[in-house]
Amino acid sequence: MTFHIGAKPGEIAETVLLPGDPYRARWAAETFLTDAVLVNEVRGMLGYTGTWKGHRVTIQGSGMGMPSLSIYANELIRDYGAQTLIRIGSAGALQHHVKVRDVVLAMAACTAGSPSRTIFRELNFAPTADFGLLKAAYEAGQGRGVGLHVGAIHSSDTFYDERPDLSEQLQRHGVLAIEMEAAELYTLAARYGRRALAVLTISDHILTDEALPADQRERSFADMIEIALTAAFA
């Protein structure tokens, strides 16, 4: 048991999926896991452990933004021995060829700042995904009938951004999408020698203002979760 996770020793699997929304964690556990058991509800941040095709999996909400993600990822790694951590979440598209409902596999995650940034001082550390997970996720996404993209994303702790000039530069440099957690997850995975990947569903488009209707989100998120689970155990 830690400050933020109430699970007992042995109740957290080595493979952990990290949706930001705790209610999405509950939906994913009920939909994809067999014999899912609630193992954490501290501060309402729900976590469940069950099995997927015989493999133990924990699905733990991580909250919104890198500071929150950092708390849960640190405790999962240091106190519960998590080895593979995959963020499953939504993102906003930054390129015209990336469409709403598409899935983005984040090869790298740039950021203007994260909880880990100060330890590097003058160095601009480049957080990247685990290549084995990235390759397996790309292969798992083939033939699913969903648009699939691999490339860089931007992790921001500012949801209501007032920097259109920054978005323009990100677009200019080929960044695929914006989300709020992956850069810190990748940095922590590098620090502790663990595997990490972000598999993201495009829920809205920064350039066109298109957004995924609520009644169509479930199926789109299902593709993302199935890709993540398949990659974890490839």
Q: Is 117 annotated as a binding residue?
A: no
Q: Are 94 and 167 in contact (CB under 8 A)?
A: yes
Q: Which of 204, 209, 215, 223 is catalytic?
A: 204
C-alpha torsion 22→75→34→20, nearest 10: 20
Q: Is 203 annotated as a binding residue?
A: yes
Q: Which H or E run includes 182?
A: helix 182-192
Q: Is 219 annotated as a binding residue?
A: no
Q: Is 161 annotated as a binding residue?
A: no
| Residues ≥6 apart with Cβ < 8 Å to 211 | 100, 203, 204, 205
In the numeric block, which tokens belong to residue 75? 């405790």
Q: How many CB atoms lie within 10 A of CB 216?
A: 12
Q: Is 89 annotated as a binding residue?
A: yes
Q: Is 87 annotated as a binding residue?
A: yes
In the numeric block, which tokens belong to residue 228? 């993540």
Residue 157 annotated in active site: no
Q: Is 43 annotated as a binding residue?
A: yes
Q: Is 173 annotated as a binding residue?
A: no
- Residue carrying structure tokens 């984040």: 106
CA–CA gap between residue 111 and residue 51 (Å, rounded): 34
CA–CA gap between residue 44 and residue 114 (Å, rounded): 24
- Residue carrying structure tokens 């160095």: 123
Query: How does DSSP assign 75-102, residue by residue?
Result: HHHHTT---EEEEEEEEEE-STTS-TT-
Q: Is 144 annotated as a binding residue?
A: no
Binding residues for a purine D-ribonucleoside: 4, 179-181, 203-204
Binding residues: 4, 20, 24, 43, 87-90, 179-181, 203-204
Binding residues for phosphate: 20, 24, 43, 87-90
Which residues have a catalytic role annotated?
A: 204
